[in-house]
């Protein structure tokens, strides 16, 4: 079955702008037939999103996005998780505990840089969800320390100095294993962000396929040029991977350059057991 999909989106359950139900309604307006909610390190928003999907007639897949320990830009998206997935719940709790502790270190780091901001304001912006770097970026912008959230990352939150503020992450093989144990399919997200040479990227794909059974590659993504898309489609074909597509939508206040973007792809591999 070919459907218009967006299989990589975020809500207020992590660092997105819109509540899960609001996101689903926006997806309906955008002409999306199959939507995956893939919040960072949490599955808290999935039940709300699924209910909204039932109300609007959109197929909503339970998903997640996990950062892997090998590289800060190596992310694994899980799609089609079961409603009852204790393995994923346990991992999410461990990740949440680590993020909760890290927020104090981020606040202290920014204070050292002369851009101290109220942590309570950052927490309020997170609306009870996972506190993440985009929340700090938005508060830095609100207080006039930067002229854009992109500048907040470039100057403070995505620098070599910032790397010392680490949190717990599972390795990529473990991420895939937990996704599979939770009934889902594992996707290597936005390969362009790794900035790997073709040979290194292919070696990563080969390793994740052979060692963990990687299911798919996110070939369609806002930052992928037409040439990149062709190369990623070829790579997926060589390693018998399914083709995924996602906008990485967070909302216009968070990432204005990543609107919801339906792409027509085959979805039988995702819907067979959902």
Condensed to tens digits (0 to 9), the pLDDT of residues 110-131 reads 999 999 999 999 999 887 777 8
Tokens of 201: 């990227």
d(CA 12, CA 229): 29
| Rg (alpha carbons) of the chain, rounded to whole number | 18
User: Tens of pLDDT along the chain (274 residues)?
Assistant: 999 999 999 999 999 999 999 999 999 999 999 999 999 999 999 999 999 999 999 999 999 999 999 998 999 999 999 999 999 999 999 998 998 898 999 999 999 999 999 999 999 988 777 788 889 999 999 999 999 999 999 999 988 888 788 789 999 999 999 999 999 999 999 999 999 999 999 999 999 999 999 999 999 999 999 999 999 999 999 999 999 999 999 999 888 889 999 999 999 999 875 4
In CATH, 92-164 is 1.10.3470:
no
DSSP class per residue in 30-62: TT-SEEEE--BT--TTHHHHHHHHHHHT-EEEE
CATH, range 2-88+172-271: 3.20.20.140
Residue range 37-56, pLDDT digits in tens: 999 999 999 999 999 999 99
Give strand pairing partners of 216: 187, 242
Please give the C-alpha separations between residue 78 and each of 27, 47, 50, 127, 198, in angstroms, as whole numbers: 19, 16, 16, 24, 24
45 phi/psi in degrees, rounded to 5: -90, 0
Instruction: Quote the pLDDT of residue 100.
Output: 86
Instruction: Quote the pLDDT of residue 128.
Output: 75
d(CA 187, CA 259): 20
Instruction: Quote the pLDDT of residue 158.
Output: 87
Contact indicator for 158, 55 with CB cutoff of 8 Å:
no
Domain boundaries, the chain: 2-88+172-271, 92-164
Half-sphere exposure at residue 42, Cβ-oriented, CA atoms within 13 angstroms:
24
Contact indicator for 207, 200 with CB cutoff of 8 Å:
no
């Amino acid at each position: 079955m070919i459907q218009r999909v967006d299989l990589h989106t975020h809500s207020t359950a992590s660092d997105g702008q819109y509540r899960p139900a609001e996101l689903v309604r926006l997806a309906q307006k955008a002409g999306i037939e199959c939507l995956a909610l893939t919040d960072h390190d949490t599955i808290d928003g999935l039940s709300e999103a699924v209910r909204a999907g039932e109300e609007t007639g959109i197929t909503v897949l339970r998903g997640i996005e996990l950062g892997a320990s090998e590289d800060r830009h190596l992310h694994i998206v899980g799609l089609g998780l079961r409603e009852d997935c204790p393995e994923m719940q346990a991992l999410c709790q461990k990740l949440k505990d680590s993020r909760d502790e890290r927020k104090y270190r981020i606040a202290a780091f920014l204070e050292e840089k002369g851009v101290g901001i109220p942590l309570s304001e950052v927490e309020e912006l997170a609306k009870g969800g996972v506190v993440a770097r985009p929340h700090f970026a938005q508060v830095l912008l609100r207080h006039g320390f930067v002229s854009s959230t992109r500048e907040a990352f470039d100057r403070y939150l995505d620098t070599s100095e910032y790397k010392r503020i680490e949190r717990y992450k599972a390795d990529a093989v473990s991420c895939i294993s937990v996704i599979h144990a939770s009934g889902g399919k594992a996707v290597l997200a936005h390969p362009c962000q790794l900035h790997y040479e073709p040979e290194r990227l292919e070696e990563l794909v080969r390793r994740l396929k052979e060692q963990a059974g990687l299911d798919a590659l996110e070939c369609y993504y806002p930052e992928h040029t037409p040439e990149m898309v062709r190369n990623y489609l070829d790579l997926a074909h060589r390693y018998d991977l399914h083709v995924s597509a996602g906008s990485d939508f967070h909302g216009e206040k968070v990432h204005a350059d990543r609107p919801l973007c339906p792409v027509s792809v085959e979805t039988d591999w995702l819907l067979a057991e959902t």
